[in-house]
Structure 1
Amino acid sequence: MATQEVDKKMEEEIKDAFPMADNVDWNEVYQRIIYRYSTPHGLQHVKEELYKLEDKGEIIVHHIKPYNDPVKMQTLNGTPKVIPTTKLWQHKSCGQCGHIPGYPTSVFWMMNKMEIDYMDEPHQTSCTGWNYHASGASNPVALAGVYVRNMWRAYEIDYFPLIHCGTSFGHYKEIRNMLVLHKEIRDKLRPIMRKMDMDIVIPEEVVHYSEWLYTMSKKAAQQRKYDLSNIRAAVHTPCHVYKLVPEDTIYDPEVFQGRRPAAPSGTAQNFGAKLVDYSTWWDCCGFGFRHILTEREFSRSFALFKKVIPAVEEGKADIFVTSDTGCVTTLDKSQWAGKAHGFNYNLPVLADAQFAAIAMGADPYVIAQVHWHATDVEGFMRKIGVNVDDYKEKFIQYLADLREGKAEPEYLYKPHRKIDFYLSVPERVKWYKGDKTQSSNQAK
């Protein structure tokens, strides 16, 4: 085939990959498009095989239902991705809950504000992403088993899974593809799951919370309490969100002309902030799993010199917005290391959920929990009009009252919300309902 014909064919295919974007600099996005041709199995092929396996009875597909209020969004190659917006099963993040507790509480707080039905799962396990990305200590069947076991939990109570952690999101997409495309993995996994009275369940879509938040951001911004129009927001999109199975991440021509993932940039934009660009937007935050464990000083210096300094010097950013545990932790908690060497940068770093919740009027200490951050977030909050001193005084008094027994803890929902309903579903937990006969038989 002549070179001219090849170029023309490539140009047509690239245009097909972005059906919603009319005015795009294709040279700039070519490196993103190249992913489409670097894998022998495109996402569309994987989904076709998924439904074939369902028809054969080899797997169970957890479908998105009309009562999930689904919204269709676009992906990198133009294939629609369905985002469920309510009746959501929360797959929380180890690092968020352990290091940035204001991250998941901000998600739940916003869901409460928007009257979203959700389940904060009490029996979720880790996705084992640490094993996979940091040490390589696991194996395909074990990784698939953890994935399917978590997905079964969501399936049996009919709440659709929403993945909080960017690494879990990318990791689960890869496992989904592996399960669909490799029969030998399914054959080894199935007897293991059936010993636990489970089966192989694969959700129709793998959805990251930041995709849900972007899909809901215009509605959420209607409840915005503070004006963010004078805020310059630099965004770091987590590598594991859009570089692992990249064609399964949502894009929107309203966000950087469809040249970068819609979330979290579009969320900051829809809340009224001005998006600013910087030359190293594509680079990792420095976390990367393995090097945060083995080369921590490299991670800290990379975060400062390759991300924070360009965002400040080039973008004149007031805030760094991102959407993954490792990214918030690394970009936020690496800046103090630079101060020891005279690099006195203080660029506050927030997850998009914290950023949006604060803008909607969430308590910055009780809900967003900015006191867990190493950078000073108060300057940003004062700039948008948050009465920081008042919130801080009330928070300190609340803590004192808790210590002295003068106050009860505040909850985003009743403790163990819906757990009675949850536990009444599987046969293996009849003891919870007081089935003494079964308990006594098991004891024998």
Structure 2
Amino acid sequence: MEICVVGAGIVGLSSAWFLHKAGHNVTVIDRAGEAGMGASAANGAQLSYSYVQPLADPSLLPGIPKMLLERNGPLKFSPQWSVEQWRWCMEFLAACRTSISRQTTVELLELAHESRLALDAFISQEKVQCDFARTGKLVLYPDAESLRKAGEQVKFQAAQGSRPQKIVSPAEALSIEPALEGYKKAFHGAIHTDSECAVDGRKLCQELARLLSKQGVRFLFDSEVAAFRRERGRITALEIHHAIDGPGLLGTQAVVLAAGAYSAGLLSTFGVRMPVYPLKGYSITLPITDSMNAPTVSVTDMRRKTVFARIGDRLRVAGMVELCGLDASIPVKRIEQLKASTQALFGRGWNSNDCQPWTGWRPATPTGRPILAVSGCDNLYVNCGQGALGMTLAFGSAQRLVRLIGSTAP
């Protein structure tokens, strides 16, 4: 079958990979000039297969007012004349219930396990170079109460078959990651998961695109989907606008919508609402010049709501959640916050003049569950809404997409 995949981030490319392996003729379309330039380009780099607590959790609610009132807090809400922004926020607050959070955790763990197996197999078989490492992860908690709540989540995940995790003291955390020596008085304890991984998302996307191109998959970069041609409830062609060549028409038998933050807008042309909102985040990427200060293990600091992951000879630092629509600006103060967090945890000596500031949008559903569905037309398939777990869930989502297409296509 001729299938167009809209989006060349990790979700779209992994979808294209498994669709191609299933025997379909695949074309990938993306507005950027190369693969992996959206949310996949410089995200947190952590692959969190075993610790998947959704953002929509009742434990978050008490802290929201404080985070919103903090001048440089990790959460920022910029009210807009947008019905969708307010509707998503109301749905998110409604999803902050224990029953919903637990069900989401179960579903995410199952999908993450499938994704882990698929990505491990891909990297092993294709010998791709993408700074993949099984580093393990420490999640640092600032006080006894937050650590207690995290312990409850660990117990629940263990009952669902999650890989081993354990609560460790600051001293035990230092034995796992000595680079935290200067920060040992700033956290009460941590959750250690030795099976977690890290990867350079942009490199992984570029490797996927290279392999797909080599195997005959067509790529249309610098191209946007302007409209869909439909007949009898099915898409028959896409109107494409290329940045240089202008408009064109591309026939197709099916479409996979995996355009991240842009997916909801494209689906709305069918009169269908996709409950996905772009959660803006920031990152910096620092060259490692002093290995004594650089962590080997991935670290998430819950006090600062910031993640750290070593990818090759660089340290990726990422954080913040802003609800401000598709705003691509990068305020200096946000980058300075990430630099300050790096110094707080791992000391000075970082070449912050070469920090490669970046921003991107995590396409998130209110519950945290991704959307894998037929929507709008009989041959339009959605693969979106993985949020901050896009890199973690992409390969499993792609495999499920192929099964969905196989079960619904005529």
TM range (shorter): under 0.3
Larger radius of gyration: 1
The one of the two structures with greater contact order (alpha-carbon pairs below 8 A, sep at least 6) is 2
